[in-house]
Amino acid sequence: MIERPAAGERAVIVQLDFGQPDLEDQLEEVRLLAESAGGIVVAEVYGRRQSPDPKTYAGKGKVDEIGAMLAAGDADLVIFNHDLSPAQQRNLERALKCRVIDRTSLILDIFALRASSAEGKLQVELAQLEHLSTRLVRGWTHLERQRGGIGMRGPGEKQLETDRRLLGNRVKLLKDRLAKLTRQRGVQRKARMRGDVLSVSLVGYTNAGKSTLFNALTHAGVYAADQLFATLDTTSRKLWIAGAGNIVISDTVGFIRDLPHSLVDAFHATLEAATDADVLLHVVDSASHARDEQMSEVNKVLAEIGADRVRQVVVWNKIDLTEASPGVEADEYGNIARVRVSARSGEGLDLLRESLAEYARAKAEARQKALDQAEREAQNDYIN
């Protein structure tokens, strides 16, 4: 399993500049990621490069600087806010004489800390194992030795091959279990969709305030905190809205820039709450400098899981921090496109409820028209 930072572990974070425009936002994000994993950031190393060094990603001079920061801060962990190849990770650990983890490993670790349901734990373990499979060579000193000795003589399978085979068996088992849970979830979802109840899913960048908004609307009491990936497991609740009746609203895992593919694949079953929804509430931290980039990253993941075709309403959250006023904006077709709210203070939530009621009534009317059309066709068939 991926080595995780110990509680209170002192870390040096590394952020290299390859010409990206939002460097300061990326630095703030990796600080939050490190703290969410329980680490203490004692130093930060920056540098500008045209391209990554093929051996150490950062280059010899920058590696020496990282080593000096490790010694000065009495740290024993280096976190790169980039994806390292297995070879780069090994070379860095040899040079720095300490553990080195990359962005993907850090995000996977936080997911492992947050997962609470049986399904969530299976999904995280699967993602971790698939990431680990490319790094099996790490830590082994006997890779090229044949297994031998009393009680160990066998077909001559090397230790690395054994590890890969056992890991592959575990991955297959996890995928089978998740497939079974996915089928069960699909049956439950189809049962809900057979009715005329509007299905709504909250999506958005991590820490945009989805769970706070979910609690404000449903009084569900799900865990919400000012930290990255506070919510992993999808939670669904019925919400009664005056003039529209019940709707089903779901809180889902937050997205992030460069979300590891292994996580997107592993959490596909969980994210299906978004693909099967009638409406997505795309919750945006309107107080964030990087809100446009964050919205783009969320839409990228939604496209990856096939949810880009679902109608979307942008919820401009945290207006209490920007002094914006509550309000509703429509698109050129007159459909509700954006609602300005504060989940924390409650401002604008009445407007959001009214917007959801409008969508619920539209779905009920469309369903009734379809039923009437089917009845007319049945009568015509009977007459003919």
Digit-coded pLDDT (tens) for 330-362: 988 888 999 999 999 999 999 999 999 999 988
Q: Give phi and psi for 364, each to the nearest 5.
A: -65, -40
Q: What are 344's two structure tokens? A: 């924390």
Q: Which of 71, 101, 131 is the last residue of a domain?
A: 101
pLDDT value, residue 162: 64
Quote the distance between the C-alpha of residue 12 and its chain's center.
24
Q: How confident is residue 318, by pLDDT bands cut at 50, 70 and 90?
A: very high
Closest by CA to 321, choosing from 283, 285, 284, 346, is 285
d(CA 123, CA 257): 19
Identify whether 2 is part of a domain.
no
DSSP symbols for 10-23 = EEEEEEEESS-TTH
Indicate whether 231 and 339 sit together in one domain. yes
Q: What is the reported pLDDT for 142?
A: 40
Q: Is residue 158 part of a domain?
A: no
The single-letter DSSP state of residue 133 is: G
The DSSP bridge partners found for residue 251 are 202, 235
pLDDT of the residue at 147: 43
Residue 328 has pLDDT above 50, yes or no: yes
pLDDT tens-place string over residues 249-281: 988 877 888 777 667 776 666 677 788 889 999
Look at residue 252 and tell me if it is in a domain.
Answer: yes
Q: What is the percent of the chain where pLDDT is above 70?
A: 81
- Residue 331 and residue 205 share a domain: yes
Asked if 84 and 223 sit in the same domain, the reply is no
**Which 8-state DSSP code applies to residue 51?**
S
Q: Find which of 7-16, 18-27, 314-323, 364-373 is predicted with most confidence, using mean pLDDT.
A: 314-323
The helix/strand count (H/E) of the chain reads as 11, 11
pTM, two decimal places = 0.76
pLDDT tens profile 178-210: 788 777 766 665 665 556 689 999 999 988 999
Angle at 295 between CA 123 and CA 196, to 5 degrees: 70
pLDDT value for 154: 44
User: Residue 259: which of 90, 103, 56, 58 has the closest Cα?
Assistant: 103
* Pair (253, 355) in one structural domain: yes
Give the per-residue pLDDT at 107. Answer: 87
Type of residue found at 94: R
> Tens digit of pLDDT for each residue in 50-69?
999 999 999 999 999 999 99
Any domain includes 236: yes
Residue 37 lies in a domain: yes
Strand order of the β-sheet with 279-285 is 235-241, 245-251, 198-204, 279-285, 311-317, 336-340, 327-330
Q: Are residues 240 and 355 in the same domain?
A: yes
- What is the reported pLDDT for 315? 97
What CATH number has the domain bearing residue 48? 3.40.50.11060
Residue pair 279/312 in contact (Cβ under 8 Å)? The answer is yes
Question: Do 231 and 210 touch, CB atoms closer than 8 A?
Answer: yes
Residue-level pLDDT at 27: 87
CATH number at residue 347: 3.40.50.300
Instruction: At 330, give phi and psi (nearest 5°).
Output: -110, 155
Asked if residue 203 and residue 92 are part of one domain, the reply reads no
Residues 84 and 213 in one domain: no
Angle between helix axes 159-193 and 268-275 (nearest 10 degrees) is 30
* 278: in domain: yes
175 in any annotated domain: no
pLDDT of residue 191: 61
Sequence-ordered list of residues with C-beta below 8 angstroms from that of 163, at least 6 positions apart, any chain: 136, 140
Q: What local confidence, expressed as pLDDT, does residue 138 receive?
A: 45
The answer to the question of residue 256 being in a domain is yes
More confidently predicted of 36 and 371: 36
Q: What is the pLDDT of residue 145?
A: 43
pLDDT tens-digit series, residues 220-249: 766 555 556 655 667 888 899 888 888 999
Q: Are 336 and 328 in contact (CB under 8 A)?
A: yes
Give the up-direction half-sphere exposure of residue 68: CA atoms within 13 A in the CB hemisphere: 7
What is the residue-averaged pLDDT of the chain?
Answer: 82
Whether the per-residue pLDDT at 14 is higher than 90: the answer is yes
Could you give the number of structural domains in the chain?
A: 2
Residue 140 has a pLDDT of: 41
Q: What is the pLDDT of residue 65?
A: 96
Domain of residue 305 covers 193-370
Same domain for 79 and 200, yes or no, is: no
Least trusted range by pLDDT, from 74-88, 90-104, 132-146: 132-146
Please say if the pLDDT value at position 300 is more than 80. yes
Query: Cα(143)–Cα(89) distance, rounded to whole angstroms?
Result: 18
Q: How many CB atoms lie within 10 A of CB 321?
A: 14
